[in-house]
Amino acid sequence: MLRITLTRVIGVLPVLLGISIISFLVIRMIPGDVVNSIMGDEFSDPAVEQQLREYFGLDQPLHVQFLNWFGMLVQGDLGVSMRSGAPVLDEILLRLPATALLAVSALVVAIIVSIPLGVISATRRNGVLDATTRVGSLIGLSVPNFWLGILLVYVFAVTLGWLPSQGAGEGKPFPENLTHLILPAVTLGVTLAATSMRMVRSSMLEVLGQDYIRTARAKGLAERLVVTRHALRNSLIPVITVLGMEAGALLGGTVIIEQVFSWPGLGSLVIRGISQRDYPLVQGTLLFLALFYVLVNFIVDLIYTLLDPRLRHVR
């Protein structure tokens, strides 16, 4: 187990190096820089622009800029925002709780919806409920989540007035501010639920056809115990992998939804950094999101190994 863990850790290092290079280069492919964003077109002064570029280090060659940034990165310093002057790590940690809350809530919604429906669909194969859930999952995969978010806002916020449509409920008491979480969490959770429900169904169908399931039924074990104790437990191994990958992607996948619902998280922070050409802010946030994704997948690999003892002996 220790050998597998060390192998996974070593494999993560080149991935993070590649992500740091990509995050550094991608933002610089956009026309303009932070100096153009600050000065604008009406107040352009070549002398002032040159001074600002020297101040921000943008006058140096691209490889020198990368080495300077990477040198701070290996020391745990993500740099300082070019616009606010605040440390990038502080900006990320300030927005992280809101995004983490939204991502975890969406994951909970997906689990609550997908696992029961996937099990019922598999145990009642080719029935009306099975057909309904399959059609519903197909719709959930096909509908863009930003369009679904706008639709939910129109129905439940604008038309019915049941739920708030914007913000995270800052300053409101505990039960009331949770109402701001419902619409964005459902919007993100629906797509994830559609994916995981199809995985639960297919995995359950495969397990229910195994010999040990037929043996359990032949011994007279109740169908409920056959499904929950034997079939469901073994069918969840690939489902956990899918949920883990989706959970890692959720933290970065909230960008559009945060814009739709004006949610004060990392997504809106990235959008602000891109619009202002704030290189350290965008680079640091993208790297942080990528690190979280890699970490979640690393944890999923370990859980997968614990659930399936055969993988512990793979060399």
> Is the distance from CB of 150 to CB of 260 less than 8 angstroms?
yes
pTM of the entire structure? 0.81
Q: Contact at 8 Å (CB) between 233 and 210? A: no
Query: Measured between alpha carbons, how far apart are the two ends of the chain, in Å?
Result: 11
For the chain, list residues with pLDDT below 50. 315
Q: Are 268 and 282 in contact (CB under 8 A)?
A: no
pLDDT at 315: 47
Helix, strand, coil percent content, the chain, rounded in steps of 5: 80, 0, 20
CB atoms within 10 A of CB 112: 12
Structure tokens at 62: 């691209």
What six digits make up the tokens of 189?
A: 């959770």
User: In angstroms, rounded to a whole number, what is the distance separating the alpha carbons of residues 114 and 137?
Assistant: 9
CA dist., res. 10 & res. 187, Å (int): 36
Tell me the Cα Rg of the chain: 24
Domain spans in the chain, listed from the N-terminal domain onward? 88-313
Instruction: Name the one residue in this structure whose structure tokens are 């056959």.
Output: 226
Which architecture does CATH list for 88-313?
Orthogonal Bundle (1.10)
Q: Cα(235)–Cα(198) distance, rounded to whole angstroms?
A: 12
Cα–Cα distance for residue pair 180/160, rounded to 1 Å: 15
pLDDT of residue 4: 61
- Kindly report, residue by residue over 159-204, the tens digit of the pLDDT: 888 888 887 777 676 666 788 888 999 998 888 888 888 888 888 8
CA distances from 234 to 149, 187, 237, 238, 311 (A): 34, 29, 6, 9, 14
Three-state DSSP state, 299: helix
Is 191 in a helix, a strand, or coil? Answer: helix
Which phi-psi region, left, alpha or beta, contains residue 172 (left: φ > 0; alpha: ψ -120 to 50)?
Answer: beta
Strand, coil or helix: 197: helix
**Token pair 């469901």 in the structure block, residue:** 232
Residue 223 CA from chain centroid, whole number: 37
50's tokens: 């040159």
80 contacts 87 by C-beta, under 8 angstroms? yes
Tokens representing 21?
């290079």
